């Protein structure tokens, strides 16, 4: 028997769209700790980034990856994740791009082919 188990890409995070006035009600939910922000106010992820993640994650195998700040950056120029930027790494003789979502300090790695990438300025 084969079983498929879907786990969240970013454990401990729930993406919500709420009015600023609703933040207290959200934080009253069991196990809610805080909203992602800069210490003074919540910071939303851009709608385009969320939409790209939704589309792309359905079509590619992705794995959580440690958040990275330094390294060679590249942009995915084709396919479902086109336009996302990240750091190029190698794993098992295959290329991956580690895409970081700065607002929540989380990253994921996606397998790519070299011809799908272009260097970032």
- Asked whether residue 108 carries a pLDDT value surpassing 80, the answer given is yes
DSSP assignment of 21-45 equals: GGHHHHHTSTT-----BSSSSB-PP
- Asked whether residue 11 carries a pLDDT value surpassing 70, the answer given is yes
- Asked whether residue 68 carries a pLDDT value surpassing 50, the answer given is no
Contact 77, 120 (CB under 8 A): no
Tell me phi and psi for residue 47, to 5 degrees.
Answer: -55, -40
CA distance 18 to 34: 14
Give the model's pLDDT for residue 85: 92
pTM over 0.75: no
Domain layout of the chain by residue ranges: 20-119
């Amino acid at each position: 028997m084969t079983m498929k188990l879907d786990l969240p890409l970013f454990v401990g995070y729930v993406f919500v769209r709420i009015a600023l006035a609703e933040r207290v009600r959200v934080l009253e939910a069991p196990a809610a700790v805080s909203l992602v922000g800069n210490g003074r106010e919540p910071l939303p992820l851009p709608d385009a980034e969320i939409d790209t993640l939704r589309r792309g994650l359905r079509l590619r195998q992705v794995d959580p990856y440690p958040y990275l700040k330094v390294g060679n950056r590249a942009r995915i120029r084709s396919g479902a994740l086109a336009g996302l930027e990240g750091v190029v790494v190698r794993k098992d003789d295959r290329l991956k791009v580690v895409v970081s979502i700065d607002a929540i300090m989380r990253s994921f790695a996606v397998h790519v082919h070299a011809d799908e990438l272009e260097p970032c300025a």
